[in-house]
Amino acid sequence: MSTTRKAFGGLLAEAEREHAKRIVALRREIHREPELGFDTARTAAKVVASLEGLPLEVREGVAENGVVADLRGATDGPVVGLRADMDALPIREETGLPFASEVEGRMHACGHDGHTSMLVGAAHLLSGMRERVEGTVRFLFQPAEEGGGGGRVMVEEGALEGVEAVFALHLWPGLPFGVASTAGGPTMAAADAFELTVRGRGGHGAMPHLTADAVVAASHIVAALQTLVSRETDPTEPAVLTVGQLEAGSAFNIIPETARLTGTVRTVDEKLRRVMPRRIEELAKGVARAMRADASLEYAFSYPVTRNDPREAGFALEVAAGLFGEEGAVEASRPSMAAEDFAFMLEAVPGAYIWLGVGDVPGLHTPRFSFDERVLPRGAALLAALALARLGS
């Protein structure tokens, strides 16, 4: 560990002294103009402009608006990937920041503006010490993390070709400020989606005996679905089933013929993941049938488990401890049930997904999410240190 600290002792200081203003300024530019999904052309243009003048081989248009930039070091060696996501969320911002979103109904509520600016900072740091880079660092600026599967598309389009290991950071509320945390194995859950359509027989609200009430059947199905976790899943096995939408009806005094439920299932065990669609359908149909209705299911397997390679996760913690001190690196005790499409990259290449603490701030995906920007040069330094150490290992 002392060797790591000696090797990267000045990296954090340089990031804070020489690059903090650039990193923060870029974060604010991106934050003012959030873009969704694959439609991140303006964000990508900001990234490319911020990399201008660096000794990088830049490819644009990967996964529509992704950017891939290679830094070839002074000597030949392996290729290490560093990834950041660029897209925002369809949320109306309520932070009151002077650089708040200027696009109505959109904001960076998950820290992707910070992730992108940190990766640009790492590119500047590593370009300035190119003679120490023993191989190639590939900077991956990815669109469409928030539901679009941009990571999968980047893999399909060859962005990880030749890469030996890949790393990514995510700003993380609730984790002490500036502390890095990760662990081998599952670190984020698989996220799948379902839609249930309940069909009954509609009629007058004053004559329910002449109907098969789809609203009542749907309500019982919502309650019954909770037993799939509470009564059918091993209590030591993490799982979540959430119904996020229940839509039905057109007027207060009409019993509708149909009701629609949509929701998400989160698991970390692949066997359980594959069982869930069958059990959701069996339970929903059984409850509906008991209430003289019927139910049909549409189910989509979406993001797989974000599964860290144990060796690379341990390596990342060692680098973080060497950079920040022993107190600045904490092994994660359990996975988050949120999901992340970096999972597709980790299916293709060994690597690790690392949380970087921003302390007690409003949660991710909320209108008031923000963070202390002093974390940004820390993240840039950690990304740079990961690449340097991995190429030198």
Residue 170 among known ligand-binding residues: yes
Phi-psi region of 371 (alpha: psi -120 to 50; beta: other; left: phi over 0): beta
**How is the chain split among helix, strand and coil, in percent rounded to 5?**
40, 30, 35
CATH superfamily, with its number, for domain 2-187+305-392: Zn peptidases (3.40.630.10)
Residue 209 among known ligand-binding residues: no
d(CA 50, CA 363): 29
Give the contacts of 349 (CB within 8 A, at least 6 positions apart).
Answer: 81, 160, 163, 164, 165, 166
Residue 112 among known ligand-binding residues: yes
CATH node for 190-303: 3.30.70.360
Residue 108 among known ligand-binding residues: no
Structure tokens that stand for 46 in this block: 């900001």
Kindly give the confidence (pLDDT) of every residue in the chain, 393 residues in length, as a single tens digit, with 9 standing for 90 and above. 344 544 676 899 999 999 999 999 999 999 999 999 999 999 999 999 999 999 999 999 999 999 999 999 999 999 999 999 999 999 999 999 999 999 999 999 999 999 999 999 999 999 999 999 999 999 999 999 999 999 999 999 999 999 999 999 999 999 999 999 999 999 999 999 999 999 999 999 999 999 999 999 999 999 999 999 999 999 999 999 999 999 999 999 999 999 999 999 999 999 999 999 999 999 999 999 999 999 999 999 999 999 999 999 999 999 999 999 999 999 999 999 999 999 999 999 999 999 999 999 999 999 999 999 999 999 999 999 999 999 985
2-187+305-392 shares its CATH topology with 190-303: no
Residue 146 among known ligand-binding residues: yes
55 DSSP assignment: S
Integer CA distances (angstroms), 15 to 21, 122, 175, 228, 379, in order: 10, 8, 22, 49, 9
Q: For the chain, what are the domain ranges?
A: 2-187+305-392, 190-303
Integer CA distances (angstroms), 32 to 42, 47, 105, 376, in order: 11, 14, 12, 17
Task: Supply the pTM of this predicted model.
Answer: 0.95
**What is the pLDDT, as a whole number, of residue 2?**
42
Least Cα distance to 349 among 177, 203, 167, 224 occurs for: 167
